[in-house]
């Protein structure tokens, strides 16, 4: 049965995919093809861009090209949608790209001199490169596949088809698409079933490829893999390195995350490990971050990271969080509308629900507060200087209060409920039956 399209938990994990990826990317940026950190990675910028502190690189930039199509309801299974993604890649390459992987640069450069639709040109250019060199299994498709795992949360075959189609736009080698099928399916499973299981998609691969991938996964799980994880420009090694970091974290003991402390610590610990592997640090951590975010959701992504990340095309964490959530919700509404068995509980539909005025996510109808800002957007509330604030009910006096993440009181304006979200003004007040409600200021 289709998960409830307004389920907080499912949508929170979906929101975590691109946000987790963005955090991994920005953490890895300073160390790309340089000395990896000895301790914890820091989002201090630099790297190949050079980037500002907290800025993400090409990995998240290209993922956003995909997400801008999927968040409007695209299942990424039509030529028109693939054309839109391909055109977005070309636009990014021409105007937005701060650094570009070698293979992607060649494919986009060659495609620009060809005739035909954007996706046909890209596919042709990547196939020609493959015929010419036999080497087109770079990690550049895997690094942007996270959001593809959200387009069809109830349909594993559709997820695999989308992952393959998006990968093939720039990467003709079947290994690239296979890595994307496995990673996207793992993300789908993490969001819908709260499990981290990289083997769940093995049966979606051609039969004669499954044993190789199973062996690569097993190798990645060992303490000292045979594969040279640092040599991770290759999609198989990048895949192994990202999984190694996730699997070998002590907070993922015996493949399980059972305790609260482990839930809190797993994502940051695994991302630091991913960066410490070295090589293409931002890409490996971006790949790992997408799957970790899918499993843990935004609530276990450190707030200082969530607020710090930003990048092309002039967007921030709040935006990539929305892109994942809306991609997932569109697919769930679509699945619910075509479901033949009668659901026991009437599901919320876009018509019967209410829409968050900030992000457009549909939530259950609340007659008293039809313009209520959703909980995900409230989490991005700031004071007038842009500093994140936490809103809560004052325990003794009643009413609303606001403080910073370090526990100090927020500005008088924020404490009286005058806050900003995404730079726009909103008004927070105590809800009639407890909790906080945030509404548009005018």
How far apart are the C-alpha atoms of 184 and 150, rounded to whole Å?
8
- Give the residue nearest to Mg ion (CB): 57
- The binder of Mg ion chosen from 15, 21, 57, 164 (CB under 5 A): 57
Q: Are 274 and 288 in contact (CB under 8 A)?
A: yes
- Put the strands of the sheet holding 424-430 in their side by side order: 418-421, 424-430, 436-440
Q: Are 125 and 114 in contact (CB under 8 A)?
A: yes
Nearer to Mg ion (CB atom), residue 57 or residue 103 = 57
Nearer to Mg ion (CB atom), residue 225 or residue 279 = 279
Q: Are 371 and 440 in contact (CB under 8 A)?
A: yes
Mask: binding to Mg ion, 5-44, rule CB under 5 A, as x and -?
----------------------------------------
The reply, when asked if residue 77 is annotated as ligand binding, is no
How far apart are the C-alpha atoms of 287 and 274, rounded to whole Å?
9
Least distance in Å: CB of 226 to Mg ion? 26
The reply, when asked if residue 58 is annotated as ligand binding, is yes
Of the candidates 289, 304, 259, 292, which has an alpha carbon nearest to the alpha carbon of residue 406? 304
The reply, when asked if residue 117 is annotated as ligand binding, is no
Least distance in Å: CB of 338 to Mg ion? 38
How many Cβ atoms are within 10 Å of 78's Cβ, its own excluded? 11
How far apart are the C-alpha atoms of 119 and 166, rounded to whole Å?
9
How far apart are the C-alpha atoms of 53 and 185, rounded to whole Å?
32
The reply, when asked if residue 283 is annotated as ligand binding, is yes
Least distance in Å: CB of 271 to Mg ion? 15
Binding segment (CB under 5 A) for Mg ion, from list 10-18, 53-61, 240-248, 395-403: 53-61
- The binder of Mg ion chosen from 58, 71, 173, 383 (CB under 5 A): 58
Least distance in Å: CB of 436 to Mg ion? 38
Q: Going by C-beta distance under 8 Å and a sequence separation of 6 or more, which residues neighbour residue 398?
A: 430
Nearer to Mg ion (CB atom), residue 57 or residue 184 = 57
How far apart are the C-alpha atoms of 403 and 382, rounded to whole Å?
10
The reply on whether position 139 binds Mg ion by CB under 5 A is no
Binding segment (CB under 5 A) for Mg ion, from list 75-83, 249-257, 275-283, 394-402: 275-283
Q: Between the CA atoms of 313, 350, 293 and 408, what dihedral angle is there, to the nearest 10 degrees?
A: 80
How far apart are the C-alpha atoms of 230 and 276, rounded to whole Å?
9
Structure tokens at 181: 């099928």
Binding segment (CB under 5 A) for Mg ion, from list 194-202, 247-255, 277-285, 383-391: 277-285
Least distance in Å: CB of 32 to Mg ion? 6
Mask: binding to Mg ion, 231-270, rule CB under 5 A, as x and -?
----------------------------------------
Mask: binding to Mg ion, 407-426, rule CB under 5 A, as x and -?
--------------------
Nearer to Mg ion (CB atom), residue 62 or residue 257 = 62
The reply, when asked if residue 401 is annotated as ligand binding, is no
Structure tokens at 63: 């993922």
How far apart are the C-alpha atoms of 78 and 72, rounded to whole Å?
14
Q: Are 161 and 171 in contact (CB under 8 A)?
A: no
- The binder of Mg ion chosen from 12, 55, 59, 430 (CB under 5 A): 59
The reply on whether position 282 binds Mg ion by CB under 5 A is yes
Binding segment (CB under 5 A) for Mg ion, from list 57-65, 71-79, 201-209, 288-296: 57-65
Alpha helices in 138-257 (DSSP H): 156-168, 174-193, 210-221, 235-248
Q: Which residues are annotated as a binding site for Mg(2+)?
A: 57-59, 280, 282-283
| Annotation: binding site | 57-59, 280, 282-283
Give the binding site for Mg ion (CB under 5 A): 57-59, 282
């Amino acid at each position: 049965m289709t998960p409830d399209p307004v389920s907080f938990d499912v949508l929170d994990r979906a929101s975590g995919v691109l946000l987790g990826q963005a955090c991994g990317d920005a953490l890895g940026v300073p160390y790309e093809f340089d000395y990896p950190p000895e301790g914890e990675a820091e989002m201090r910028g630099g790297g190949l861009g050079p980037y500002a502190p907290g800025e993400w690189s090409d990995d998240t930039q290209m993922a956003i090209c995909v997400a801008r199509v999927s968040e409007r309801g695209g299942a990424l299974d039509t030529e028109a949608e693939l054309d839109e993604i391909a055109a977005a890649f070309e636009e990014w390459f021409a105007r937005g790209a701060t650094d570009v992987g070698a293979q992607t640069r060649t494919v986009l450069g060659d495609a620009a001199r060809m005739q035909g639709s954007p996706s046909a040109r890209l596919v042709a250019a990547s196939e020609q490169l493959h015929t010419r060199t036999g080497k087109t299994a770079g990690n550049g498709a895997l690094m942007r596949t996270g959001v593809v795992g959200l387009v069809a949360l109830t349909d594993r075959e559709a997820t695999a088809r989308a992952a393959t189609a998006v990968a093939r736009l720039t990467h003709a080698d079947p290994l690239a698409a296979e890595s994307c099928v496995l990673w996207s399916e793992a993300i789908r499973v993490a969001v819908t079933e709260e499990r981290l299981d990289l083997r769940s998609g093995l049966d979606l691969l051609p039969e004669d490829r499954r044993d190789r991938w199973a062996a690569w996964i097993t190798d990645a799980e060992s303490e000292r893999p045979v594969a040279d994880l640092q040599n991770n420009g290759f999609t198989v090694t990048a895949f192994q390195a990202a999984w190694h970091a996730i699997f070998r974290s002590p907070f993922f003991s015996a493949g399980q995350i059972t305790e609260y402390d482990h839930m809190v610590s797993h994502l940051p610990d695994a991302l630091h490990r991913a960066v410490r592997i070295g090589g293409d640090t931002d890409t490996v951590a971006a790949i790992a971050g997408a799957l970790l975010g899918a499993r843990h959701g935004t609530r276990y992504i450190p707030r200082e990271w969530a607020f710090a990340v930003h990048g092309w095309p002039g967007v921030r964490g709040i935006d990539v969080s929305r892109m994942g959530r809306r991609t997932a919700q569109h697919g769930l509404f679509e699945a619910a509308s075509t479901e033949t068995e009668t659901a026991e509980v009437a599901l919320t539909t876009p018509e019967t629900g209410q829409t968050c005025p900030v992000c457009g996510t549909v939530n259950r109808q609340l007659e008293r507060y039809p313009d209520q800002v959703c909980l995900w957007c409230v989490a991005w509330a700031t004071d007038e200087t842009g500093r994140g604030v936490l809103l809560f009910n004052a325990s003794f006096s009643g009413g609303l209060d606001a403080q910073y993440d370090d526990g100090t009181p927020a500005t008088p304006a924020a404490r009286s409920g005058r806050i900003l979200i995404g730079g726009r003004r909103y008004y927070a007040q105590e809800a009639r039956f407890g909790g906080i409600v945030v509404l548009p200021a005018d």
